[in-house]
């Protein structure tokens, strides 16, 4: 059994349902301590975080990830217990196998190999780990970044171990993510009997033209790395439950997934301008946990990771900014070059989540070669 497979199995066996770490960080810390890492635990609320660093010089190469996993869903639908790591036909099954305990194990074994071969490497190696990524993500990575920022500590390069690969491990690097801006809009009318329309103001009817304009608006054209900004309404709620009552309000939940071509401020102001244009009475609340977009163009980190992938797999990797948000959006505040690279994402959050055993060693080797290119060559 390879050391990466063994460590991945040990991590999967810990029931780290978000935001519970279940001892995963302690397990990883026990492997890092003999390598002369300075280990700093940062607990916020119910969330455990770890900032670990080896060395004191620049540049800092940081590996970032999360130990928490999503719920399993119906256990009876799994072919084996989701927290009993099981290898079948070359695949390792278990909750978190690909999202992202395999990446965490590969981080550690890559670092162990690199520091054994290059004990006097230049710069520093760091890990930023949390148990609050799959949940509401308010006491995890963002808190560690705030603490580092308060110390005026920056990171030069960061690799987030999210499962980015599509068909083969290493075929896709996420070199950025769209921002996410969510809000709740309550359009106010006047409630009353449906048979007396002159005595009511139907907020659903009033909101409809504004909704149509919001849906038809071209917010931006995107750019080289990002598609155009998307506006979507996810929920509409109105009515009292009775068929003969016009409601007094209608509530809309909405979201922008936006590129770097639009700022949060510009989206907010344009959104409000459309509401005001239609003379709506409304309450509007923006979600605080929304994330900014980030982008890492080709440069030292992208080139090093791409070259490592080519050396291990023979693949010419693709750069992508698709998908949802990740903790990379927080790290980008203190790090100019952030990418995401991990195993296949085909089974993440699903029943029978799995990762190919061979891919674990390949991923560890890619991380190892990236360290060598950035800190030893």
Which residues are CB-neighbours of 259 under 8 A, at least 6 positions away? Answer: 178, 179, 220, 222, 223, 225, 226, 227, 228, 229, 293
Nearest of 195, 203, 210, 67 to residue 127 by alpha carbon: 67
Cβ proximity of 131 and 66 under 8 Å: yes
Cα(98)–Cα(353) distance, integer angstroms: 7
Q: What length is written for the chain?
A: 377
Catalytic residue among 21, 99, 112, 133: 133
Cα(182)–Cα(202) distance, integer angstroms: 25
Radius of gyration (C-alpha) of the chain in whole angstroms: 24
Cβ proximity of 65 and 103 under 8 Å: yes
Whether 68 is catalytic: yes
Cα(245)–Cα(190) distance, integer angstroms: 11
For residue 298 the two structure tokens come to: 């080709």
Which residues are CB-neighbours of 216 under 8 A, at least 6 positions away? Answer: none
Whether 112 is catalytic: no
Cβ proximity of 160 and 145 under 8 Å: no
The H or E element spanning position 143 is: helix 141-150
Catalytic residue among 68, 112, 134, 359: 68
Helices (H) and strands (E) in the chain, counts: 9, 19
Cα(308)–Cα(302) distance, integer angstroms: 10
Cβ proximity of 9 and 92 under 8 Å: yes
State the residue for tokens 């952030």: 338
DSSP annotation of 290 reads -
Widest CA span of the chain, in angstroms?
A: 82
- Cα 85 to chain centroid distance, Å, stands at 24
DSSP annotation of 291 reads B
Active site residues: 68, 133
């Amino acid at each position: 059994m390879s050391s990466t497979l063994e460590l991945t199995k040990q991590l999967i066996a810990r029931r780290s349902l978000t935001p519970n770490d279940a001892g995963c960080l302690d397990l990883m810390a026990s492997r890092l301590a003999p390598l002369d890492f300075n280990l700093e635990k940062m607990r916020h609320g119910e969330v455990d975080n770890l900032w670990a660093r080896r060395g004191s010089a620049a540049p800092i190469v940081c590996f970032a990830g999360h130990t928490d996993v999503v719920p399993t869903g119906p256990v009876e639908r799994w072919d084996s217990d989701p927290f009993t790591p099981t290898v079948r036909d070359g695949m390792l099954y278990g909750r978190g196998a690909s999202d992202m305990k395999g990446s965490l194990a590969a981080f550690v074994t890559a670092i162990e190999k690199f520091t054994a071969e290059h004990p006097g490497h230049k710069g520093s190696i760091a890990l930023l780990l949390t148990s609050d990524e799959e949940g509401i993500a308010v006491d995890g990575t963002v808190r560690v970044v705030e603490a580092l920022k308060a110390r005026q500590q920056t990171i030069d390069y960061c690799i987030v171990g999210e499962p980015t690969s599509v068909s083969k491990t290493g075929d896709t690097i996420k070199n950025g993510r769209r921002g996410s801006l969510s809000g709740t809009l309550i359009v106010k009318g006047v409630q009353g009997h449906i048979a007396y329309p002159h005595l009511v103001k139907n907020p659903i009817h009033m909101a409809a033209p504004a909704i149509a304009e919001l849906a038809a608006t071209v917010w931006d054209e995107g750019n080289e790395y990002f598609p155009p900004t998307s506006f979507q309404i996810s929920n509409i709620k109105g009515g009292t439950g009775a068929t003969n009552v016009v409601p007094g309000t209608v509530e809309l939940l909405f979201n922008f997934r936006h590129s770097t071509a639009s700022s949060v401020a510009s989206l907010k102001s344009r959104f409000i301008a459309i509401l005001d244009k239609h003379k709506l009475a409304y309450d509007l609340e923006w979600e605080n946990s929304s994330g900014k977009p980030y982008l890492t163009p080709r440069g030292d980190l992208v080139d090093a990771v791409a070259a490592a992938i080519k050396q291990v797999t023979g693949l010419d990797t693709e750069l992508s900014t698709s998908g949802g948000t990740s903790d990379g959006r927080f790290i980008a505040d203190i790090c100019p070059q952030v990418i995401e690279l991990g195993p296949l994402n085909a089974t993440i959050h699903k029943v029978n989540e799995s990762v190919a055993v061979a891919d674990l060693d390949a991923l560890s080797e890619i991380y190892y070669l990236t360290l060598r290119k950035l800190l030893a060559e």
